[in-house]
């Protein structure tokens, strides 16, 4: 049994929960989450995205069903809804995937909200995976008490979310906040979105690997480190010159992007999670120095540049939080 210390049987019986689902290109993460953001049960399955949208959907529905069974039996909880955060662009009103691309082949057009509500008879809210991270940070993380902030999620790609006056900026259908596809080099390489020199080409795991390989071939060196973000960070901390060059490019690209976001949104904070942001304070110090040089002092003074407060669970916590905080 999952009694918390000092909890009465009555309080335990009245405990309400929501199911949170975080769908990425590699893994699907499920959790039973209460309104305070505490996780009571969780599981992770491989997405196996190359098997196609129907298979990913089956895995999603099966995972939700497992969480439902836990919550209603062993957990003794009342389920209030299902919150889903998915990679790709989401049509927020209908809860349908508007565009998912190569990360999730066959996922475009999937009516997630309708399918989940039909199967489980529980209110379902679907949003983009980075939008739900912003919700988690606002209610349980570093953005508590803030009404205007920007989130950047550095992963295989670069995702973004913008909160203004306590609400996510959604745009025409829900696609707003694609901050990874803001150009930081108009003469840069072509991106799959159509633009040139997108931030994602320099600050994502894939982008950093590309920069590292190019840098090593220029120096006619083979790497003693893996050319992905964690490998580059470790080598940078050890003073490896090729890694330092790569990280300098990443910092310049990120600072150009962040300065543009500060000028556009005048946020109280810019929150960075995943990828190179895990390099910690020396990385943030170098980044702040560059952003400051590129930004109107009035706007820099009011914008904090900080690491995300919630780690790998931010997706499921934020996905579930939609049930409590989106009415
Ligand atoms: Zn792009």
C-alpha 300 to ligand 1 mean position (Å): 26
C-alpha 193 to ligand 1 mean position (Å): 4
pLDDT at 1 over 60: no
pLDDT tens readout for residues 162-181: 999 999 999 999 999 999 99
C-alpha 103 to ligand 1 mean position (Å): 14
Assessment of whether the complete model's pTM goes beyond 0.75: yes
Share of the chain above pLDDT 70, in %: 95
pLDDT at 223 over 80: no
Rounded to 10 deg, the angle between the 229-237 and 241-265 helix axes is: 110
**275/287 Cα distance (integer angstroms):** 14
Bridge partners (DSSP) listed for residue 91: 96
pLDDT at 6 over 70: no
Identify the burial level of 248 via C-beta atoms within 10 angstroms of its C-beta, where 0-12 means exposed, 13-18 middle and 19 or more buried. Answer: middle
pLDDT tens readout for residues 240-280: 888 899 999 999 999 999 999 999 999 999 999 987 888 88
Residue 66 has a pLDDT of: 98
Non-local (6+) Cβ contacts of 299 within 8 A are: 262, 263, 266
C-alpha 195 to ligand 1 mean position (Å): 5
C-alpha 321 to ligand 1 mean position (Å): 29
Answer for the pair 150, 97: CB distance below 8 angstroms, yes or no. no
**321/326 Cα distance (integer angstroms):** 8
C-alpha 272 to ligand 1 mean position (Å): 19
List the single range of 2-6, 51-55, 114-118, 267-271 with lowest mean pLDDT.
Answer: 2-6
C-alpha 241 to ligand 1 mean position (Å): 29
Residue 178 has a pLDDT of: 96
Residue 217 has a pLDDT of: 83
Answer for the pair 88, 45: CB distance below 8 angstroms, yes or no. no
C-alpha 189 to ligand 1 mean position (Å): 10
- 271 membership: H or E segment, kind and range: strand 269-273
On average, the pLDDT of the chain sits at 92
Mean pLDDT of 32-59: 96
Residue 73 has a pLDDT of: 93
Residue 102 has a pLDDT of: 87
Mean pLDDT of 127-156: 96
């Amino acid at each position: 049994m999952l009694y918390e210390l000092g909890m009465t049987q009555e309080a335990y019986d009245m405990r309400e929960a929501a199911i949170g689902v975080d769908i990425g290109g590699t893994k699907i993460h499920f959790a039973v989450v209460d309104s305070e953001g505490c996780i009571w049960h969780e599981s992770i399955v491989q997405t196996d995205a190359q098997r196609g949208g129907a298979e990913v959907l089956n895995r999603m529905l099966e995972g939700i069903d497992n969480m439902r069974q836990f919550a209603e039996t062993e957990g003794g909880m009342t389920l209030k809804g299902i919150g889903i955060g998915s990679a790709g662009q989401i049509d927020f009103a209908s809860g349908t995937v508007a565009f998912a691309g190569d990360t999730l082949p066959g996922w475009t057009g999937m009516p997630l909200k309708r399918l989940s509500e039909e199967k489980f008879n529980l209110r379902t809210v679907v949003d983009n995976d980075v939008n739900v991270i912003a919700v988690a940070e606002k209610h349980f993380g570093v953005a508590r008490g803030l009404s205007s902030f920007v989130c950047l999620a550095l992963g295989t790609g670069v995702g973004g979310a913008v909160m203004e006056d306590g609400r996510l900026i959604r745009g025409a259908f829900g696609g707003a906040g694609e901050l990874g596809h803001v150009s930081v080099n108009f003469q840069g390489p072509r991106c799959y979105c159509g633009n040139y020199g997108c931030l994602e080409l320099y600050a994502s795991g894939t982008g950093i690997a590309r920069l590292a390989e190019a840098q090593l071939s220029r120096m006619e060196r083979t790497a003693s480190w893996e050319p992905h973000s964690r490998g580059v960070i470790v080598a940078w901390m050890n003073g490896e010159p090729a890694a330092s060059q790569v990280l300098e490019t990443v910092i310049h690209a990120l600072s150009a992007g962040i300065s543009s976001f500060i000028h556009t949104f005048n946020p109280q904070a810019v929150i960075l999670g995943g990828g190179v942001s895990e390099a910690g304070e020396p990385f943030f110090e170098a980044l702040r120095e560059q952003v400051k040089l590129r930004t109107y002092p009035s706007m820099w003074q009011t914008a904090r540049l900080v690491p995300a407060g919630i780690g790998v669970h931010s997706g499921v916590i934020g996905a579930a939080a939609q049930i409590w905080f989106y009415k």
